[in-house]
Structure 1
């Protein structure tokens, strides 16, 4: 099973609770293997299985958690 990594710039993160919310939202997407959320830079890296998830489903998870994806 091949995995792919993608990065997003996320706006609106202000605290560790925001980081946890994004991690939880992405973990709920089928195919997500790992997430790395950097509060200081606003960058979110996601490793996922492209056979199960796509860029739009990952972006929608972040948007659904209440954050803007740049």
Structure 2
């Protein structure tokens, strides 16, 4: 199993609840192995298996949680 890390700048996260929402949305995706969310700078790093999930699905999950991804 090969793992890759993708970084996203996420707009709209203002509190620990926001961080939890983003982490939950990403953790629900098959192939996501871990997330690291930095609330201070709005960065989300996702470790995932590219054979099981693509970057577009990760972006969609963050958007689905109610946040903008740049």
Please list every run of 5 or more consecutive structure 2 residues that lacks an aligned counterpart in the other structure.
Answer: none
The residue aligned with 2:14 is 14
> Does the alignment pair 1:57 with 2:57?
yes
Question: RMSD across aligned C-alpha pairs, in angstroms?
Answer: 0.3
Q: How many residue pairs align between the two structures?
A: 70
SS at match of 1:40: coil
SS at match of 1:7: strand
Please list every run of at least 4 consecutive aligned residues from structure 1 whose deviation after the TM superposition is greater than 6 angstroms: none
The residue aligned with 2:28 is 28
The residue aligned with 1:37 is 37
Aligned-residue offset at 1:37: 0.4
Aligned-residue offset at 1:52: 0.6
Aligned-residue offset at 1:68: 0.1
Aligned-residue offset at 1:43: 0.2
